[in-house]
Amino acid sequence: MTAAAATPQVDDRPPAPALGTVAEEGGTPSASERLRALVVVAVDRLAAAATAKVDEVADRLGDVAADAAKGALGGSGAGLGVGANAALQAGLAKMQGRNPVWAGIKGGFSAMSPGTRVAVGLLLILLAVLSPVLLLVLGLVLLIAAIVGAVRG
C-alpha cells in the first residue's frame, strides 16, 4: 500500500439519518423515511466497499507497473512469473519497434531463478553435443530398415 492510501479520508457528506429518528411532525417516522434511511446506509456501505476494492486493485497495478519498469530497465522483474515477464517484455519490444520474440525470450530467461538458468544452459549444451549423435543413430536405423527391406523384398 502507498502512504497516501494509509491516511484516513475525510468525509464531507452530511450524516445519514438514523433509523429510529422521530419525524418532525411529532410521530414515528414514515415508511418512506425509513426506506430512504436504509437506502442511504446501504449506498454508503457499498460505496465504501467499492472504494476499498478500487484502492486495492490500484495498489496491485502500481506494484505490477513498478516491477515492469524494473524489468524494462534491466531488472529481474520480480513478482511476475516467467511467462508474464516474457509476454510483458515482448509487448514492450513490439511497442518500441524491436523484435518481440527475442525480447520475450530474454525477458523469460531473466525471470528464472539461477538454478533454473543453469539447468536450461546445461540442457542447451547437452542438446548441441548430442544432436550429431542423434542424427547418426537415426541414419543407422534408416540404413538397417533399408537393408531389411531389401533382403525381404
Mean pLDDT of 2-24: 55
Q: Which of 1, 3, 32 is nearest to 17 (CA)?
A: 32
Mean pLDDT of all residues belonging to the chain: 80
8-12, 49-53, 95-99, 138-142: the lowest-pLDDT one: 8-12
Cα–Cα distance measured from residue 45 to residue 107, given in angstroms and rounded to the nearest whole number: 43
Mean pLDDT of 127-142: 93
Q: What is the pLDDT of residues 87-130, one digit of tens each?
A: 888 888 899 999 999 999 998 888 888 899 999 999 999 999 99
Q: Where is pLDDT greater, at 28 or 41?
A: 41
Q: Where is pLDDT greater, at 31 or 138?
A: 138
